[in-house]
Structure 1
Amino acid sequence: MEVLAVPVLADEGFQGPTKEVFQTPHWFDIGIGSANFYLNKATALTIFAAVFVAVIFWLGFRRAKIIPRGIQNLCESAYDFVDVQIARGVIGEKGAKYTPYLLVLFSFVLVGNSLAVIPGAQFPATSRVAVPMVLSIITYVMFNYAGIKANGARAYFKEMVDPAPTAPLGIRVILAPIEVLSTLIVRPFTLAIRLFANMFAGHLLLLVFSLGADYLLPKPPYVIGVLSLLVAIVLTAFELVIDALQAYIITILTAAYIGGAMSHGEHEVAPSEDLAEHAPVGVPAAAHA
């Protein structure tokens, strides 16, 4: 009696996330000289986030009414939140002029982050380091411009290289490079890395448990697959909270950098002003000189 051999498919084991998750394949790639133009999922989602934010605010304010409704109500609520809680709350009344930028920054990052849990997209645009780097460069230019405009270039950079003019020389020598590195290098770098690292790690963790659930659910004991699925669901909800939190953090840090740059030199009080403030009523300040 002839026995037929039945091929059995071997279990290749759990296949975790690969680099292709973040290095998505190009849909098209065009080289013109030394320049290379391409479009992939990550780039398309970044463009979508920018266009989505622009369209929402255009629809909200194109026919603004005294009593807001629908999209206008949403847009005005977002504007009020950023203006009152972040721009004016961190920078002060002078921060109102920076509210539009802070609003766009907050909205774009929130939408870009939230794409991680949107079916069909399932990829945070901000998990590619290039996007947070561009945002941090814009912020870098913004807060240095605000500092120079508020104090003048000479006073702004003078306080940067000599933040404690009354301190001993040794302390001043130590503080000078720390302040320069902090303002010109560390701030934009950490601003970008903070957003990138949180979104990269969060998306990777969500992928691990989602793929784990897909692999383990058909296999006994089924409880392991069910637990992995439950963790993936909980992480999805947690990811939404992180998305909003990271958008808020990058916006409020940007406001803090702008406010700090604008307040350079405000703590320095001229001797005559200091004497006038502490002089007894009716006694000229010159009498105390």
Structure 2
Amino acid sequence: MSALVLAEGAVFSPPGAQSFELPPLFGSVTKPMLLVVLSVVIIATYFLLATRKLKVVPGKGQFIAESIYDFSRNNIARQQIGSHDFKRYVPLVFALFTFVLLNNLYGIIPALQFPTMARFGFPIALSVLVVFPVYHYAGFKRHGFAGYFKKELAPPSVPKAVLPLFSLIEFAEKFFLNPITLAIRVFAAMFAGHLILAVFTLGGTFLLTETSGWALKPVSLVAWVVAIGMTFLEAFIQVLQAYIFALLSAGYIGAALASDH
């Protein structure tokens, strides 16, 4: 982005893609890498401690853990995969939801303030290396190798005249486009949200500290108020994107298991 020059001579360089290029903390280890590992430790530790001594009347920690699990199990896995097959995939859906959720919420946690899903490598790895191998394996196991490809690429309801084009489009969608779009959804939302917060926060600070006159200084307060409001909106989007990622993942598995196209 080009720099914005104010009348007073101060120069504001707005945040952009370069804001996500974090230098290594040590060796080749970066902050997002540490945050991903930390998220696994936090999630595992919390749910192990919260469920260590289960009670009939749950405490606050057990209640939150059970609520998250119940939501993942019944509102995502059961609804998208079906009541007959969903149970074996509940751990995956639960892990995807909690992992993406915590890594998204890093973006509004003070001192951390970086959603790791805003680095495209993480959601694409989660999609390509975790979700879609399970998705296709479920289809192959249920329908057989030939049966799965026939179900997905050559269903009997498609006229033979358009079957070659249909099969080509379906193959590209199922094996290439769906993994990419699944990752792009959460990446784009986290990238844009973090960028918007940075613009208002840094812009407000710049107007307050780097302008010589008083005309623009009150505007900094407006920028900070907008930043606070955007933080609450971003928190909602972070939760929503974690839900959508887990929901679509479960939906793909359910589609692979379904008998018809």
TM score, norm. by length of structure 1: 0.81
- Residues 166 and 203 of structure 1, relative CA distance in 2, 3 Å threshold: closer
Q: 2:91 matched to which residue of 1?
A: 100
* Matched positions, count: 248
User: Which structure exhibits the higher relative contact order, with contacts defined as CA atoms closer than 8 Å and separated by 6 or more residues?
Assistant: 2
Deviation at 1:259, TM superposition (A): 0.3
- Tell me if 1:54 matches 2:49: no
Could you tell me how far apart the structure 2 residues matched to 1:216 and 1:245 are? 33
Q: 1:126 matched to which residue of 2?
A: 117
Could you tell me how far apart the structure 1 residues matched to 2:98 and 2:260 are? 34
Q: How does 1:24-103 map to 2 (within 5 A)?
A: 24-29=22-27, 38-93=28-83, 94-103=85-94
Q: 2:223 matched to which residue of 1?
A: 228
- Selected match of 1:148 from 135, 140, 149: 140
Render the CA deviation track for 1:181-213: whole Å, top value 9, x for unaligned.
111111111001111111011101110110001
Q: How does 1:194-273 map to 2 (within 5 A)?
A: 194-218=185-209, 219=211, 220-221=214-215, 222-263=217-258, 266-267=259-260
Could you tell me how far apart the structure 2 residues matched to 1:143 and 1:103 are? 15
Deviation at 1:42, TM superposition (A): 1.4
Q: 1:15 matched to which residue of 2?
A: 13
Could you tell me how far apart the structure 1 residues matched to 2:58 and 2:91 are? 19
Deviation at 1:166, TM superposition (A): 4.3
Could you tell me how far apart the structure 1 residues matched to 2:158 and 2:89 are? 34
What amino acid is the match of 1:43? M
Render the CA deviation track for 1:12-32: whole Å, top value 9, x for unaligned.
411322555211111222xxx
What amino acid is the match of 1:232? A
Could you tell me how far apart the structure 1 residues matched to 2:233 and 2:244 are? 16
* Structure 1 stretches lacking a partner, 5+ long: 1-9, 30-37, 269-289
Render the CA deviation track for 1:65-100: whole Å, top value 9, x for unaligned.
333223221111111111111111111111122111
Render the CA deviation track for 1:30-73: whole Å, top value 9, x for unaligned.
xxxxxxxx212111111111211111111122222333223221
Structure possessing the higher radius of gyration over alpha carbons: 1
Could you tell me how far apart the structure 2 residues matched to 1:122 and 1:112 are? 10
Render the CA deviation track for 1:111-153: whole Å, top value 9, x for unaligned.
1001111110010011111110111021001111111122222
Could you tell me how far apart the structure 1 residues matched to 2:250 and 2:109 are? 29
Q: Secondary structure at the match of 1:159?
A: helix
- Tell me if 1:172 matches 2:141: no
What amino acid is the match of 2:246? T
Q: 1:35 matched to which residue of 2?
A: none
Could you tell me how far apart the structure 2 residues matched to 1:212 and 1:167 are? 55
Q: 1:109 matched to which residue of 2?
A: 100
Q: Secondary structure at the match of 1:217?
A: helix
TM score, norm. by length of structure 2: 0.90
- Residues 230 and 154 of structure 1, relative CA distance in 2, 3 Å threshold: same
Q: 2:4 matched to which residue of 1?
A: none
What amino acid is the match of 2:50? G
Deviation at 1:217, TM superposition (A): 2.4
* Structure 2 stretches lacking a partner, 5+ long: 1-7
